Amino acid sequence: MNFLVIEGNIGAGKTTLAKKISCDYNARFVGEQFADNPFLEKFYDNPKSYAFTLEMSFMAERYSQFTNELQNFNLFSDFVVADYYFMKSLIFASVTLSDDEYNLYRKFFDIIYARLPRPDLYVYLHKNSNNLKANIDKRGRSYEKNIKTEYLEEVGNAYFRYFKQQSEFPILIIDTNNVDFVEKEEDYHKLCHIILNTKYESGITRIIC
C-alpha cells in the first residue's frame, strides 16, 4: 500500500489515528491545513454568506497540498497516510452550497480531481452525531462551538451518498462508536490490524468494532 486515507466526519478522530499510524508504521503523514483558513470561523457564524468562498479556498488549498506532498514522496517512508482525501471538497460542498453554486463548483472540481492519484485504501471512521458532538466540545476549538448535530448528520449523509456512487478504490467503513483508540491500546492495535493487514476490493466494506 502506497497511499492510505483516514477520513471521517468532524470529530471522528481521523487526524489522531492517521498520526499514530504514521509514527508507528514509518509512514509520511499528510494532514489537512484548516486552522489558518480565514473563512472558516466566518462560515460557522454565517454559513450562507461564506459557504462558496470557504469551499473554493479549501479546494485550492487541498489541491496544492496534495500535489506538493505526493510529488515529493519521501523514499525513506513506507507509505503515505492522509487524514483527508480531495473528494472531501465535493462532499462538504454538496451540503453547504446552493444548487447553482454547487453546479459551478463541480465544474472546477472535476477538472482538478482528474489529475490526482486515487488512494489504495480509503478508511471512513463512523461515529453517530452525539459522539461526534461530544468530541468536538471536548477539544474546545472556538470556531467549532456553533456546530449543530443536524449539520453533522447532513455531512455524514453526504459521505454515504458518495460511497454508494464510488467504485474506483476500496472503501472501508469502520463503526467506531464503541472504540477508544486514543486511551485503549488494544482498540488502536485492533484498528491497525483491520486497516493494514487485510486486502480489500474496490467498493464498500463495513466493519463494526
Catalytically annotated residue among 24, 78, 83, 175: 83
Q: Which residues touch 8 (CB under 8 Å, ≥6 apart)?
A: 14, 124, 125, 126, 127
- 180 flagged as catalytic: no
Q: Which residues are catalytic?
A: 83
